[in-house]
């Protein structure tokens, strides 16, 4: 991805896991290495995204999938605050997702 100021973001998934809780619920986790590269700098970090999916049959919308997602951002060893942060995320983001099938027009 190209971001503003000609900054390039390259994301590589380095780990993935999935657990099926029952026929309508499952959890996924992905570990991603992010490389931000500009003309004069390179920065790395690690992102862990955990998502809890629920399959629901809604009377009005039909089949939908709802999900709760948490994304944790970890510093790279090159960051001056890496040892202060330890193995703890420096940022957490929470999302609520609702996935609907595309309607044909």
Asked whether 18 and 26 are in contact (CB, 8 A), the reply is yes
Task: State whether residue 35 is helix, strand or coil.
Answer: strand
Asked whether 71 and 52 are in contact (CB, 8 A), the reply is no
Q: Which residue has the higher pLDDT, 21 or 61?
A: 21
Cα gap 31→28, rounded to integer Å: 10
Asked whether 1 and 12 are in contact (CB, 8 A), the reply is no
- 23-64 confidence digits (pLDDT tens): 999 999 999 999 988 878 788 899 999 999 999 988 887 889
Residue for token pair 């089949």: 63
Residue 71, pLDDT score: 98
Mean pLDDT of all residues belonging to the chain: 91
The pTM assigned to this predicted structure is 0.82
């Amino acid at each position: 991805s190209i971001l503003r100021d000609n900054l390039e973001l390259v994301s590589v998934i380095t780990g993935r896991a999935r657990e099926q809780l029952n026929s309508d619920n499952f959890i996924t986790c992905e570990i991603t290495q992010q490389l931000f590269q500009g003309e004069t700098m390179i920065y790395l970090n690690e992102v862990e995204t955990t998502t809890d999916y629920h399959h629901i049959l809604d009377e009005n919308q039909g089949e939908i999938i709802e999900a709760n997602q948490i994304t944790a951002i970890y510093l790279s060893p090159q960051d001056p605050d890496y040892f202060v942060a330890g193995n703890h995320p420096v940022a957490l983001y929470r999302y609520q997702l609702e996935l609907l099938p595309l309607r044909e027009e």
